[in-house]
Structure 1
Amino acid sequence: MIIRSARRDDAPAVIPLLMEAIGSIAYLLTGASDEREAAAALADFYRQPGNRISSEHVLVAEQEGELAGMLVAYSGDDAHELDEPFRERLRKRWPELAGAIVREAQDGEYYLDALAVAESFRGQGIAKRLMAAAEERAAELGFDRTALIVEAYNDKAYRLYEASGYEEAGVLRIGDSDYRRMAKRLN
């Protein structure tokens, strides 16, 4: 298996995984009313630089010539700026939704925004390897901690993060859902 930086042409494989990882947040970010519209909008953002899901912020795991998983991560210091393209889209089309984007990342941390592994590759440690690669990148960039959020009901993901050294660090409300915020100190 190879872990590498994503390319723009990875979009057809990355976007379905991203949609699975972020769930209803896809609709809050894009203002889309259905899955197809949300996926198309996210694919456009993915191909453009300067936003939270730009390909430049994505690591992918490749196995057997297929994209097996992906992880979106970026500096929390840049979170407000990286969300601006989404706010701009909402201001143009649905002004009442422009304030709905919640800042998930905090200053001083490297934020793991989304993580998903393709169903046929699950149970092989790919998520852990993607997280380790993101943590390594965070350390190289001078960060001493990483953070993420997980849906309050997603105990399986919570246990994965806990086993990887993440500790609960509060609750964040996004839309109608609660998310557990988790953080990890890097050595």
Structure 2
Amino acid sequence: MEMTTPFLRPAVWEDALQVIDLISSADENALLYLTGKNSLDEAKEVYRQGFSREDVYYSYRFTLVCFVNGRLAGCILAFPGFLEPDFISEAGSSLPDVREAEDDELYIDSLAVYPEFRGQKISRYLIDAVKVQAKKYQLSKLSLLADDAKPYLEKMYRSYGFEVVEEIILDGVRHKKMNYLIKS
């Protein structure tokens, strides 16, 4: 597929259907776990409804979308860590007890690229964009969790300059917490 320059923009609530479908294709288990739903369709509906809100971490306001040739190619959902306690209290028991983000981090919750756009540096483009966001929030680092069952993720993030800082277990799954220090 011939690629034109990727076009990046902040998501709007009308992007919900496309964005949630893309995120769920990358990690459907996360949607099931975080919503407490047993069916992917139910979990996606919870996410779609929440996407239009501003008081949840999976809101459109924390999402950037990337288009190539007019098609959604990828997205990244990243929120300031200092907001996580508010999201946890809003969600009640559906969010894990373990904090994923620290106050000084822009936490990358989801990064997803459609298979036909992989290998075209879309993920790097999206990560570079959230580095700019982190600076706007005056945050000193990016953070994310890489699932141990998907070692290629750790390898990819290491190639972008992320380093493993600790291991976290969420819902019985081991993850590596990785950070990227923002240069001033």
The answer, yes or no, to whether TM exceeds 0.5 is yes
CA distance in 2, matches of 1:168, 1:22: 21
Distance 2:141 2:84 in 1: 15
Q: 2:74 aligns with which of 65, 69, 77?
A: 69
Q: Is the 8 A contact 2:35 2:94 kept in 1?
A: no
Contact residue 29 and residue 101 of structure 1 kept, 8 A: no
The whole-number CA distance in structure 2 between the counterparts of 1:103 and 1:17 is 25
Contact (CA 8 Å) 1:144, 1:186: kept in 2 or not?
A: yes
CA contact 1:71–1:130 (8 Å) conserved in 2: yes
Any residues of structure 2 matched to 1:3-82 within 5 Å, and which?
3-82=8-87
**8 Å Cα contact 2:80-2:137 kept in structure 1:** no
Counterpart of 1:90 in structure 2 is: none
Q: Is the 8 A contact 2:75 2:113 kept in 1?
A: yes
Structure 1: distance between partners of 2:97 and 2:49: 18
Question: 1:174 aligns to what?
Answer: 170
Q: Which position in structure 2 is the counterpart of 1:115?
A: 111
Change (3 A) 1:98 1:39: closer
Give 1 or 2: higher helix fraction.
Answer: 1
The equivalent residue for 2:161 is 165
**TM-score normalised by structure 2 residue count:** 0.91
Give SS of 1:48's match.
coil
In structure 2, the CA distance between the partners of 1:38 and 1:98, relative to structure 1 (3 Å rule), is: closer
Instruction: Provide the C-alpha distance between the structure 1 equivalents of 2:97 and 2:113, rounded to a whole number of angstroms.
Output: 25
**What runs of 5+ residues in structure 2 fail to find an aligned partner?**
1-5
* TM-fit CA distance, 1:99: 6.5
* Deviation of 1:102 (Å): 3.4
Deviations 1:42-91 (A, max 9, x none): 1111111111100000011011111110100011111111233322xxxx
Matching residue of 1:94: none
Q: 2:34, 2:95 within 8 Å by CA — same for their partners in 1?
A: no
- Is the 1:51–1:84 contact (alpha carbons within 8 Å) kept by the matching residues of 2? no
TM-score, normalised relative to structure 1: 0.90
Q: Distance in 2 between matches of 1:73 and 1:98?
A: 19
Amino-acid identity (%): 26
Q: 1:105 aligns with which of 77, 101, 108?
A: 101
Letter in 1 for 2:123: A
Secondary structure of residue in 2 paired with 1:170? strand
